[in-house]
Amino acid sequence: MKIKEIIRSNLSVLNYRVEVNGEPYDKEKHGDLIHLKTELGTYEEYNPVFNVTFYCSIIKFTAIEQDKILALLKE
């Protein structure tokens, strides 16, 4: 399944920080990549104005280009 299909099927994913292969999600760059693995995690962000640390969720996708998968299947 492509990354953009996963996000379209569940738009609530966009409420969280989304990364693909360690980079922030970019529809043009990552949309057509084939999904391999998903990790859910948290990260902390300190806000000096409020003097508080916020804990936020992050969704990390690992994906690969379709051409690379087809090349592996041919071998």
Give the model confidence (pLDDT) of 30-50 as tens digits: 989 999 999 999 989 999 999
Domains contained in the chain, number: 1
**Which residues form the domain of 45?**
3-74
The three-class DSSP label of residue 65 is: coil
Alpha-carbon distance of 49 to 68, in angstroms, equals 46
Is 75 or 43 the better-scoring residue by pLDDT?
Answer: 43
Contact 59, 40 (CB under 8 A): yes
pTM score, two decimals? 0.78
pLDDT band at 11 (very low <50, low <70, confident <90, very high): confident
Pairing of strands 17-20, 52-64: parallel
